[in-house]
Structure 1
Amino acid sequence: MVEWARLRHAYGSAEDVPGLLASLRAADEAERHEAFGELYNSITHQGNRYSASAAAVPSLLELIADPSTPDREFLLVLLGRIAVGLDEAWLPGGVRTDLLDEDGLRAYEAVGAGLPVLLPLLAEPELADSAAYVIGWYRGEHAALAVHGSPTSIVACGLAGSTPRTADDSPLMRWAGAIAAARLLGTAAGDDVRAELLDWAASGRERDHTVPYLEGDLAGYALLSLPLVGVDAFEPALARLRQVSAEPALTALGVALRQAFPDGPVDGRLTPRQQRLVQVVAENPSAGLYDGVEFANFSLLLAEYGLPR
């Protein structure tokens, strides 16, 4: 028996969680969606996990396993958030359990214990991608992932350590194949993989929310993957920084800063590469905007490296 009043979420006591979980079965759609939103914001607030996060997993798995449960795709999204928080923290390399705090580790392990419930969902077309996203964060030879045949499942294969199989040569599948190959093969990946990643990484492509990783920033994911295959990501990051704003620009800025400041924050005179980065940021002020307003995360990231906000 879970003593919910002893557990915590982002807003304090978790005693409201059982009622919210029960409301996920409600006949009224508005009631279900409100309960989902409250759970999403409380037990995975801004990607954080709490003592209530792991405790909610068995109930969520029970709901997901029941075909009569409405909105099961939403519940898989919540389960993925409980498992890994914000996936930007782990891409492109996958989850590092040694870096998780106690609540994060418990949440990750609780979802991992539910893989037997999730694997059969790969055979359900409307749930397959959402299930693949969650399963892929756990290392193992998940054979069903390898044959599912969607961009999400191909990337999940790479993260899980199994080799994907597909004959589809569409742009999204080529992207996914290159992402998986970078994860699995590293610098042994072929020139075709490098070329595919570079084509995406330096582009101004918009987000594609049909693929959940990095909130659909597929070009950003390609950019993050370039170092895996031995490619200097600095110039592609600057190219993307000139073309995008808000979260995609934040990803590009992070890559560029890590490449330009390998030893951390600025210490004295800027190197030519660091000066070049500062110039690109200064010449493209829209990169640091979110819906026309200053994007605080962008400014804060610059400040972390000792650069003016």
Structure 2
Amino acid sequence: MPEWSIPNQEVDWSSVSHAYGPATEIPSLLRSVRSGSQQVRQRAYQELAGLVVDQGSRFEASAAVAPYLIQLVADPGAPDRFAACQVLAAIAVGDDSSWLSDPVHPAHLRSEANRRALMSRDELEEEHRAWIAAAPNEEERSARARRAEWGDVEADRDEERWTIQAYDAVRAGVPVYVAALAAPEAAVRLYAAYLLAWFPEDGETIIPAMTRLIREERDPIVVSTACVAAGLVGAPGDEALIEALSARRGSPNRGESWSAVLGLSRVITRPDRSLVRDLYSCLLEATGPVPHWPFLDGDMSAMAAFSIRDLGPELARDRVEVLVERVVNASESTDVFLLLTAMLDAAFPAGPVPDGAGFDELAAEQQMALLALLESNLLQAGPMVPMLLGRYNLPQTEPKLQAWCGR
């Protein structure tokens, strides 16, 4: 294998920083990921990832590294291209759980980084004080003020800039990752699909190839990854994608079927009752991490929770009725706390019942949820149940709840 060299004139690595200081060791690591030794390559990728992404944060060096890794993914003869995709995904989004729990809009990040780049320190501090004062309540205001004590407005601005620069540097390789969906190695196809999940602005480029992969792929983990990725970048109402996902929904492999459901929930304009039911099956029954499924470290249940959160308010009644069915038919193996949390979250999306409110003032689906709870035996399922009821400002014992509900 010919030696791969880093052109030193392209990046002055001593002038850019990673998590621990000047990035002078980066060229050596980039050479090592082309080593003939798998052990050397693996160690180099681990060290490289730890330097350019630390607890989700990106740095100056993060964007600078991306073109070299894109070049590696583009080379069919390069070893461990899947590992390059893994590191590129980390550079792009940091921690996927943070990206999914607080949905990111890259165009907004770009606009804000450009706007704040022109601001002086005094202007940044004035804006930060206004942000603290605009908190919706005193508790949040105090929390923002405490965070401000440990932060620095200019350092925060730098991190915001590095974050979007890193994202855009990885995004530049989208055509390369699309081509990698046809790679002969399943691991490359898998992590190329995962990497493409984070670039919705390029959906028109990504989705035709992703749809083809969903139709033709034989490896269930690759298919499962592609189904979820397509849901994250696909446009609602895409008939070809919906058809491909629907075909995979019927798979006897539960992980593959649930992944298709996760994808469909985001691209079907109005999911029907059966799709809502399948989403909750994934939430409540995908009890352990799925090996090699890259989203959220294999936690398919958590991915279902994010998908359910993003359903429209018009599905509130469907959600509650599906969960009422489960509450009424709960078995000894049911995770009671998870099930009741899901049902009460669906029934009370605005949070706790106001002080002094009566049962008759509740919406029909809220009444339905509480009556189903009373008809079940789940109120006796342990000390976590009263705590959960208290979270919604509901009576915490069965006699009090019965009286409040007029039973």
Question: TM tier, shorter chain?
Answer: 0.7 to 0.9
Distance 1:234 1:224, change over 3 A: farther
Structure 1 equivalent of residue 190 of structure 2: 129
Change (3 A) 1:42 1:253: farther
Deviations 1:111-132 (A, max 9, x none): 1111111111111142111101
**Residues 155-164 or 74-83, more deviating:** 155-164
| Distance verdict in 2 for CA 1:136–1:261, change over 3 Å | closer
Match of 1:114 among 173, 178, 187: 173
Shift of 1:28: 2.1
Distance 1:32 1:93 in 2: 33
Runs of 4+ in 1 over 4 A off after TM superposition: 232-236, 239-243, 252-264
1:260 CA drift (Å)? 7.9
**DSSP 3-state at the match of 2:293:** coil
Give 1:179's aligned residue: 262
Whole-Å separation in 2 of the counterparts to 1:255 and 1:32 = 47
Local SS of the residue matching 1:25 = coil
Query: Structure 2 vs 1, CA of residues 260 and 192 (structure 1 numbering), >3 Å: closer, same or farther?
Result: closer
**Is the CA contact (8 Å cut-off) linking 2:224 and 2:293 kept in structure 1?**
yes
Unaligned runs of 5+ in 1: 244-251, 284-309
Name 1:303's counterpart in structure 2. none
Give the AA of the match of 2:179.
Answer: P
Correspondence for 1:154: 227
Q: Which amino acid aligns with 2:308?
A: L
Q: How far apart, CA to CA, are the structure 1 residues paired with 2:98 and 2:105?
A: 10
Structure 1 residues 258 and 198: CA distance shift in structure 2, 3 A = closer
Q: Is the 8 A contact 1:43 1:53 kept in 2?
A: yes
Offset, 1:210? 2.6
Task: Give the SS at the match of 2:285.
Answer: coil
Change (3 A) 1:173 1:92: farther
Counterpart position of 1:73 = 82
Change (3 A) 1:92 1:10: closer
Matched, 1:105 2:105: no
Instruction: Name the residue aligned to 1:192.
Output: 274
1:17 maps to which of 22, 26, 31: 26
Gaps of 5+ in 2: 1-9, 111-159, 215-222, 236-240, 327-333, 356-369, 371-378, 388-407
Moved more, 95-104 or 15-24: 95-104
1:216, 1:259 → 2: CA distance? 28
Alpha-carbon separation, structure 1, partners of 2:342 and 2:62: 29
* 1:280 corresponds to which of 379, 384, 390: 384
Percent of pairs with identical residues: 29
The secondary structure found in structure 2 opposite 1:90 is: helix
Deviations 1:191-239 (A, max 9, x none): 1110011112123610103321111100111122112234469999xx7
Q: CA deviation at 1:68?
A: 2.1
In 1, are the aligned partners of 2:13 and 2:26 still within 8 Å (CA)? yes
Shift of 1:261: 9.4
Counterpart residue number, 1:299: none
Shift in CA distance, 205/263, structure 1 to aligned 2, threshold 3 Å: closer
2:39 aligned with 1:30: yes
Q: Give the aligned partner of residue 213 of structure 1.
A: 295
CA 1:259–1:59 in 2, change beyond 3 Å: closer, same or farther? farther
User: 1:190: Cα distance to partner?
Assistant: 1.0
Q: Would the alpha carbon gap of residues 37 and 157 (structure 1) be closer, same or farther in structure 2, given more than 3 Å must change?
A: same
Q: Residues 182 and 67 from structure 1, CA distance in 2 versus in 1: closer, same or farther, beyond 3 angstroms?
A: same
Summarize the Cα distance change of 1:158–1:261 in structure 2 as closer, same or farther, 3 Å threshold. closer
CA distance in 2, matches of 1:255, 1:103: 40
CA distance in 1, matches of 2:163, 2:323: 32
